[in-house]
A = this chain, B = another copy of it.
Amino acid sequence: MAYFDAASAVPLHPVARQALLASLDEGWADPARLYREGRRARMLLDAAREAVAEAVGCRADEVVFTPSGTRAVHTGVAGALAGRRRVGRHLIVSTVEHSSVLHSAEVFEADGGTVTRVPVNRAGAVDPSGYADALREDTALAVLQSANHEVGTEQPVAEVAEACRAAGVPLLVDAAQSLGWGRVEGGWSLLAASAHKWGGPPGVGLLVVRKGVRFAARGPVDERESGRAAGFENIPAIVAAAASLRAVRAEAAAEAVRLRELTERIRARVPELVPDVEVVGDPGRRLPGVVTFSCLYVDGETLLHELDREGFSVSSGSSCTSSTLTPSHVLRAMGVLSEGNVRVSLPPGAAEEDVERFLSVLPGAVASVREKLGAPAAAPAAPAAEDAVVVDAVGRRCPIPVIELAKVIGDVPVGGTVRVLADDEAARLDIPAWCEMRGQEYVGEEPADRGVAYVVRRLS
């Protein structure tokens, strides 16, 4: 049994568990009350706020505890936009932000705001100049993640913050994936994070709003958490979250080196062990524990089942039941293959032998899925007669359209074309990605009577 989905959630840290138990006894009362149980709860809450502020590198009165990381993002984006409404109604995000950011942007657009979505390179990173160029007179807020949740790529936060600061625009950093590893450097204005990513309990998000940043809380008045997060404070969970953050930070430097070595091993060996694989994300500037790859001719969900049967819990950007957008908006924005996508995110303490066993199990799991789906075994065979072939994959989900394409590419001569008719949205990403991996030419897409026709020219 090996749990390799730390980017989703990690089990409670032992230190957090202890803190939670103690503060369930001491911190259950209303901290607004004057009697001793209330005062005790208030002291615990204040101490947790101090500890978190120290870990973040901010003032305690800049820290707001929210019920989740998602709520921290929703509250932070809405509050910052409302606070600068008079400046304008323009928002900048990257195309690879977490769904909580992108959905916040959609709500803002529906309400009349304008959103610029800064693209990323094939490694998943934004260019700081992309943000600099997007800044306008009426820009109210920019949002950028510290590191991507699906592929682990780190973003140039400090440079983007500098560009924003020069323009007088606040930058909100979504630090959900990185805060356990260290402070977010640079002159950011707001920060959001989630405790269950660093071994804290669920139920605690973090929103930091720097002094001087204009912020207008939305929704009904509630005086708790500086009026920025309504509802009874979840003090036991907050105390546990703070304790866990301190604990993982103390171990972070050493553990980062160890996990980076393990993920480096996966990055290097998966393409050796499994044919037709693309490892995605930046090879250097990335989170220590995350490695993501996509496998041609494989259905992500089926591969997850195979790996689960072998005792490995991983996630997939191409799984329909993941809580992200489907198919992965991140992989799409990067322009890389999405089919057969696997994200391995190692939790602190992940065992080397589990990683080795994963590497030994993976080739068989992928082969088994490919066999079930009837994927082509190797390069196409003899040259063929027809100059143009049509493959009808309408009504069939990816990776079937790509598999059918691969089966017939050898049936046309070099220079001939294959038209793949498909109506699965993922084909739009995966057919061009296949062409790039295979050295074939992706001509483009055309409307068709049924679905869309994706046209591929055989080059070799």
Contacts and interface: CB of A to CB of B under 8 A. Distances in A.
B232 A194 contact: yes
Contact of A107 (B69, B194, B219, B236): B219
Interface in A5-48: 5, 8-12, 17, 20-21, 24-25, 28-30, 32-38
Contact of A36 (B38, B74, B308, B315): B308
A365 to B, nearest CB: 13
Nearest to A322: B32
B74 A106 contact: no
B235 A323 contact: no
B100 A220 contact: yes
Interface in A221-275: 221-224, 230-237
Contacts of A220: 74, 100, 103-104, 106-107
Given A103-B221, A221-B106, A231-B205, A8 B30 contact: yes
Contacts of A196: 28, 232
A294 interface: no
Nearest to A32: B323
A275 B314 CA distance: 70
Contact of A203 (B9, B37, B107, B237): B237
A317 interface: no
A107 B82 CA distance: 15
Given A220-B74, A232-B69, A314-B35, A237 B202 contact: yes
Contacts of A100: 220, 222, 230
A407 interface: no
Interface residues of A, number: 69
A301 interface: yes
Interface string A198-230: 000111010000000000000111111000001
A432 interface: no
A460 interface: no
A10 B78 CA distance: 33
A8 B31 CA distance: 10
B24 A17 contact: yes
A321 interface: yes
B36 A313 contact: yes
A71 interface: yes
A106 B307 CA distance: 53
B37 A313 contact: yes
A442 interface: no
The 3 tightest CB contacts between A and B, nearest first, are: A68-B231, A67-B67, A35-B313
21 contacts: A5-B33, A8-B29, A9-B30, A9-B232, A12-B28, A28-B201, A33-B322, A34-B319, A68-B231, A70-B222, A70-B231, A71-B230, A74-B219, A99-B222, A100-B220, A103-B222, A107-B220, A201-B234, A203-B203, A234-B237, A237-B237
